[in-house]
Amino acid sequence: MDTRWQVAKDDADWLRQALAYVRAAEARALAGRGAFHIVLAGGGTPRKVYERLAQEAHDWAHWHIWFGDERCLPVDDPERNSRMAFEALLSKVPIPAQNIHVIPAELGAAVAAERYAQELAGVHAFDLVLLGLGEDGHTASLFPGHDWGEAIDAPPVLAVLDAPKPPPERVSLSARRLNCACVVLCLVTGAGKREAVAAWRGGVALPVAAIRPACGVDVLLDPAAAVA
């Protein structure tokens, strides 16, 4: 399994590369099966990618939106990952409502994890998984010292009850389910991520390093996040 590191020249190049990556994954998926199943990353890093995607022409009718994780907050809470995605992209493009699969995290982690696992049943490998990277090496809501769901019999969706990054209660796709992907792109910007990037490159067993799909992982860094 390869991890391929790409350092952008500047912010504009970082965004350009991220968009090109999505476009290529979409084209492959549509050519292959006539649908594009994409897992959106949460947090703040991907917002500018989503905002720019909303300004482009895509085959939106064939996009299927999934979420890598969600915070157990009310649906309209400003801190919800789904709210960011709707503000930046999903409210601006004609993706059929039935193709947008929000994690019902407002129901509580255990119930939401169960419901999302049912919704995912029968869904093939994701065509593209977008991930973020936390300063402690977490990704989605898979945190150091917690169960990342790597085992072959791990559930597809995990209830997270004591996350170190607020809110403590979250729902996350497991490492095993995130690995069931044709393409994985980790989007990393900012000097705050430099240590996590260095640890990851140094082989530290971080949650993000548990994402090891057969296709490998592409990591797109801006200059500030790149290890000197």
Which positions touch ligand 6PG (CB under 6 A)? Answer: 41-45, 69, 71, 81, 132-134, 138-141, 165
- Least Å from the CB of residue 43 to ligand 6PG: 3
In this structure, what token pair is assigned to residue 228? 């000197």
- 18 three-state secondary structure: helix
Strand 36-40 to 3-7 pairing: unpaired
Cis peptide before 167 (omega within 30 of 0): yes
If the CB atoms of residues 18 and 60 are measured against ligand 6PG, the closer one turns out to be: 18
Question: Which residue's CB comes closest to ligand 6PG?
Answer: 132
Alpha-carbon dihedral angle through residues 137, 142, 146, 151, given to the nearest 10 degrees: -110
If the CB atoms of residues 32 and 44 are measured against ligand 6PG, the closer one turns out to be: 44
If the CB atoms of residues 58 and 71 are measured against ligand 6PG, the closer one turns out to be: 71
- Least Å from the CB of residue 120 to ligand 6PG: 17
Four-residue CA torsion sign, 162, 164, 168, 171: negative
Pick from 142, 143, 173: nearest CA to 155: 173
If the CB atoms of residues 133 and 210 are measured against ligand 6PG, the closer one turns out to be: 133
> With 0-12 CB in 10 A as exposed, 13-18 as middle and 19+ as buried, what is 19?
middle
If the CB atoms of residues 183 and 187 are measured against ligand 6PG, the closer one turns out to be: 187
- Least Å from the CB of residue 19 to ligand 6PG: 17
- Least Å from the CB of residue 135 to ligand 6PG: 8
Rg over CA atoms, the chain: 16
- Least Å from the CB of residue 69 to ligand 6PG: 5
If the CB atoms of residues 60 and 88 are measured against ligand 6PG, the closer one turns out to be: 88
Q: What are phi and psi of 41, to 5 degrees?
A: -85, 155
- Least Å from the CB of residue 160 to ligand 6PG: 10
